[in-house]
Amino acid sequence: MSAIISVFGSARLQEGDAEYEAARELGGLVAEAGWTVATGGYFGVMEAVCRGAAEAGGLTIGVTLAGWDHRSPNRWVKEERPGVDLFDRLRILVAGCEAMVAVAGGVGTLAEVAVAWNLMQHESRDGGETRPLVLMGRRWQGLGDAFTAHLIDGPRDTDLIELAPDPLGVAVVLRRALK
């Protein structure tokens, strides 16, 4: 089975938005590398990444919510894996991947990044191998600076996150880490 890359991001972005199109490009690059995309399965970034991966012939996984019967996965999801609740959904996305990428998002995306980062801190402290957590785009740069300046973490902790300006930068980080 190919490596699974979990991607987090806003459900509010729409086709034509620059960040939607960047997420779509990212999905294509992930698929072209032979990896599988996993997302929350709905709209915005999730749709864009799945669409880009599907258009490039890749496999897409949507980790949806069992109780959200009023929502259907986006049409680019090839395999649906329902989570019981938001916590289960996040656990599936984080535990079941080889790398994680965050694209533009809001509070939900920030929560996903924080949980993923915290789990990576524990993996690192327990002597385990860490997986890449890449924050893509200019929106994350300011937060990355704030994390370093204001959180009570050590340099090893902030080194667990990588910033990439665009989909090509993410692809470079992933190729280096998943060779």
pLDDT digits (tens, 9 = 90+) for 98-148: 999 999 999 999 999 999 988 888 776 566 677 899 999 998 888 767 777
Look at residue 71 in the predicted model and tell me its pLDDT.
82
pTM comes to 0.92
CA-CA distance, 98 to 154, in Å (whole number)?
24
Host domain of residue 28 = 4-177
Q: Are strands 161-164 and 99-102 parallel, antiparallel or unpaired?
A: unpaired
What pLDDT shows up at residue 100? Answer: 97
CA 175, chain centre distance (Å)? 15
How many Å apart are CA 81 and CA 104, to the nearest integer? Answer: 23
Average pLDDT, rounded, for the chain: 90
CA distance linking residue 134 with residue 23, whole number of Å: 13
CATH number at residue 157: 3.40.50.450
3-state secondary structure the chain: CCCEEEEECCCCCCCCCHHHHHHHHHHHHHHHCCCEEEECCCCCHHHHHHHHHHHCCCCEEECCECCCCCCCCCCCCCEECCECCHHHHHHHHHHCCCEEEECCCCHHHHHHHHHHHHHHHHHHHCCCCCCCEEEECHHHHHHHHHHHHHCCCCHHHHCCEEEECCHHHHHHHHHHHCC
Distance CA 50, CA 31 (A): 10
Per-residue model confidence (pLDDT) at position 127: 63
Q: How many domains does the chain have?
A: 1
Give the mean pLDDT per block of 10 residues along the chain (179 residues). Answer: 93 96 98 97 97 98 87 93 93 94 94 90 69 92 76 73 95 94
Measured CA distances, 82 to 5, 47, 89, 92 (Å): 17, 16, 7, 9
